[in-house]
Structure 1
Amino acid sequence: MTVRTDDVERARAEVGRGFCPHRLMPQAGVRSVQLRMAARRVGGVGVIDLDYGQAVRIQPPALESFYLVQIPRAGSTMVRHAGHTVTSTPGVASVLSPYDASDMLWSEGSPHRIFYADRRTVDRELARLLGRPVDDPVRFDIGMDMTTPTAQAWARGVAFLADELSQPTDASLFDHPQVADRFEQGLIGKLLLAHQHTHSDQLTEPAHHRAPGRLVRRACALISDHHGEALTVGDVAEALGVSVRTLQECFRRELRTTPTVYLRACRLDAVHRALRAAGPGVSVTTVALNHGFVHLGRFASDYRARFGESPSTTLRG
């Protein structure tokens, strides 16, 4: 949804409809706001671009069912949450977990890009990464350093999500459900690896397996049989009853590669076969999307590196 209003009460109601009911109070001397909000969502994730235009105080209760990563594009925000305080700037995002109320002071001229993640989606992806169910709640540290390479890679993913969700109906990559599912899992998984939380230590524990060779053979067979489906490395690890880290370590030791690289190679080979066998009217984009490739520029580069020609050249041949 897209909302524009200068009325404080309407701003509170509309933002509450997108998030949850909350208190909204302009700072001293401010009588109105200049709300500009664009909210987009697919599956268990979403992106909200939000700007009050004026200095405001926002007091939401515990979010209960979702997480928020709030990234100021300018200005600053002071955030109190779960007994901690952070001054959020373009270089430091604030992260709200579902279990505690918050108190936030947004400065004037502080537009935010906000990443929304459903709590069940986060729990499910963490279970995939760990290879076991998670009983304890996932609580993120309140301040997220956005200047690290890992955080910047994650932020590029959020920007890509926002851009695709802004496209007209039937013009977005995420109109394809398998693509949307894969991207959602990757974005949540990257966040869990990029930012500290209550289960981070478990994600970095040494990975061991009694029969690494057998595990890798089973993983390769599974990937070969199902690479055309909405399959992620997390799905493979879950199916084999191990953590993603264990699967990655076993691939490194046995094949000197990663399960992600192996899965991508299987998909590239499948695209190559499909393009060679394609009839009239088939496009490279359609074939790539049907095999799980979201970033078409990277797909084309990887394809050329593997086969020595562009996918369009294969299609024409």
Structure 2
Amino acid sequence: MRFRTADVARVESTWKQFVPSAVLHDVDPHRLYFDWKSVELGELTLVRYDLAAKVRTTAEPEDQFIACRVEGPDAQLRSDRSELVASRPWLSDGPRVHAQWERGARVTALIFERASLQSLAQQISGDDTVALHVADLAPRSDRAADAWSRMFAYLEQSAESLDDDGDTELLRSELARHAAATTLATFSTTGRLHRHRPAQTTPAPATVRRALDFIAENAHRPITVDDVASAVHISTRGLQYAFRRALDTTPAECLRRARLDGAHRDLRSGAQSTVAAVARKWGFSHPSRFAVAYRESFGVLPSVTAATHRR
């Protein structure tokens, strides 16, 4: 999609098509110029736009990962966690990012659906249980930031040659995979912080996959490893052996991670509930142990997540 406009309403409605939480504040309509280009690459969207106007904008991804770079002579960026360096890319899967400029800026962004990027992270790590979350919105280093920017330029140039017919589907898929792999290498994510084992070279057995599905669907209930084994018609010892062989982990650890993920979703939802109540809901009876485990998985204390997303 490619167009130019001076209509403020169309600017915001277009951005919201791709990032529903995006909001434009205090746009000066008298000197607005908007030049938009976007390309769909499967479940990845590439966006590049120039917006000349006095602007304040906010994005808060929902079920998405947004990797974005803002270039402008007076552009300023910050998240609810910290200040961000303008002209360097950032990555968010939930924390709000605010940008503002007076004279104009170019915004380049890659918008990943959460399931798509998480699936790639699982393929790269060989761990079907990886739950991907952003640990730091800023890139790992200047070198990593430069590599991401070069990747985006290559992606944009390559996308120019794509047609809308089915013959380019494989190329679109490969470009999306390249973009995702480079983004994962550029930023710190908790999916990479606590997975240190050889890559899984074959798909997990059907029994393990069914067990993981049962855990995902029932982690909010007071189930045990014995319940998981019974649900997939295998002995507890057999289930433990299958998990160790396929995933190099235990059913108990997978259940624990699923419950941490559930608590993380609840805290991000903005619901008026205490951290202690959320911890109890997901089976963590000791608040201090829950806080330690949560920080190890998500990089911040649960109280920080709750305060950031409270309505």
TM (normalized to structure 2)? Answer: 0.56
One-letter code of the match for 2:18?
G
**Is the aligned partner of 1:202 residue 2:194?**
yes
1:162-200 CA distances to partner (integer Å, 9 max, x unpaired)?
Answer: 1222236269xx943333323322321222122212233
**Is the aligned partner of 1:11 residue 2:11?**
yes
Give yes or no for contact 2:6–2:29 (8 Å, CA) kept in 1: no
One-letter code of the match for 1:94?
W
Describe the shift of the 1:146–1:3 C-alpha distance in structure 2 as closer, same or farther (beyond 3 A). farther
Give yes or no for contact 2:68–2:108 (8 Å, CA) kept in 1: yes
Query: What is the CA–CA distance in structure 2 between the aligned matches of 1:129 and 1:183, rounded to whole Å?
Result: 16
The one of 155, 173, 176 aligned to 1:161:
155
One-letter code of the match for 2:98?
D
1:276-310 CA distances to partner (integer Å, 9 max, x unpaired)?
Answer: xxxxxxxxxxxxxxxxxxxxxxxxxxxxxxxxxxx
Describe the shift of the 1:241–1:185 C-alpha distance in structure 2 as closer, same or farther (beyond 3 A). farther
Deviation at 1:111, TM superposition (A): 0.8
1:300-315 to 2 correspondence within 5 Å?
none
Structural RMSD (CA):
3.3
For residue 127 of structure 1, give the secondary structure of its aligned residue in structure 2.
helix
The one of 180, 186, 193 aligned to 2:185:
193
Deviation at 1:14, TM superposition (A): 2.0
2:39 paired residue number: 40
Gaps of 5+ in 1: 210-214, 219-239, 244-317
One-letter code of the match for 2:158?
E
**Is the aligned partner of 1:116 residue 2:111?**
yes
Describe the shift of the 1:208–1:67 C-alpha distance in structure 2 as closer, same or farther (beyond 3 A). closer
Query: What is the CA–CA distance in structure 1 between the aligned matches of 2:85 and 2:56, rounded to whole Å?
Result: 14
Deviation at 1:71, TM superposition (A): 1.6
For residue 52 of structure 2, give the secondary structure of its aligned residue in structure 1.
coil
Give yes or no for contact 1:8–1:32 (8 Å, CA) kept in 2: no
% identical equivalent positions = 14
**Is the aligned partner of 1:182 residue 2:174?**
yes
Deviation at 1:76, TM superposition (A): 4.8
1:83 paired residue number: 81
Deviation at 1:105, TM superposition (A): 1.6
Query: What is the CA–CA distance in structure 2 between the aligned matches of 1:95 and 1:35, rounded to whole Å?
Result: 23
1:235 paired residue number: none
Give yes or no for contact 2:118–2:131 (8 Å, CA) kept in 1: no
Describe the shift of the 1:196–1:4 C-alpha distance in structure 2 as closer, same or farther (beyond 3 A). same
Query: What is the CA–CA distance in structure 1 between the aligned matches of 2:10 and 2:177, rounded to whole Å?
Result: 34
1:225 paired residue number: none
The count of aligned residue pairs is 207
Give yes or no for contact 2:6–2:34 (8 Å, CA) kept in 1: yes
Describe the shift of the 1:23–1:201 C-alpha distance in structure 2 as closer, same or farther (beyond 3 A). closer
TM (normalized to structure 1)? Answer: 0.55
1:1-317 to 2 correspondence within 5 Å?
1-26=1-26, 31-60=30-59, 62-89=60-87, 92-97=88-93, 99-134=94-129, 136-144=131-139, 147-148=142-143, 150-167=144-161, 169=163, 175-202=167-194, 205=196, 207=197
For residue 189 of structure 2, give the secondary structure of its aligned residue in structure 1.
coil
Deviation at 1:42, TM superposition (A): 0.9
For residue 167 of structure 1, give the secondary structure of its aligned residue in structure 2.
coil
For residue 186 of structure 1, give the secondary structure of its aligned residue in structure 2.
helix
Deviation at 1:116, TM superposition (A): 1.8
2:265 paired residue number: none
Gaps of 5+ in 2: 203-244, 249-311
Describe the shift of the 1:119–1:53 C-alpha distance in structure 2 as closer, same or farther (beyond 3 A). same
Query: What is the CA–CA distance in structure 2 between the aligned matches of 1:156 and 1:117, rounded to whole Å?
Result: 18
Describe the shift of the 1:17–1:94 C-alpha distance in structure 2 as closer, same or farther (beyond 3 A). same
1:47-67 CA distances to partner (integer Å, 9 max, x unpaired)?
Answer: 21112111201123x321222
Query: What is the CA–CA distance in structure 2 between the aligned matches of 1:160 and 1:152, rounded to whole Å?
Result: 12
Give yes or no for contact 1:78–1:104 (8 Å, CA) kept in 2: yes
Describe the shift of the 1:13–1:189 C-alpha distance in structure 2 as closer, same or farther (beyond 3 A). same
Query: What is the CA–CA distance in structure 2 between the aligned matches of 1:23 and 1:208, rounded to whole Å?
Result: 43
2:257 paired residue number: none
Describe the shift of the 1:180–1:146 C-alpha distance in structure 2 as closer, same or farther (beyond 3 A). farther
One-letter code of the match for 2:90?
S
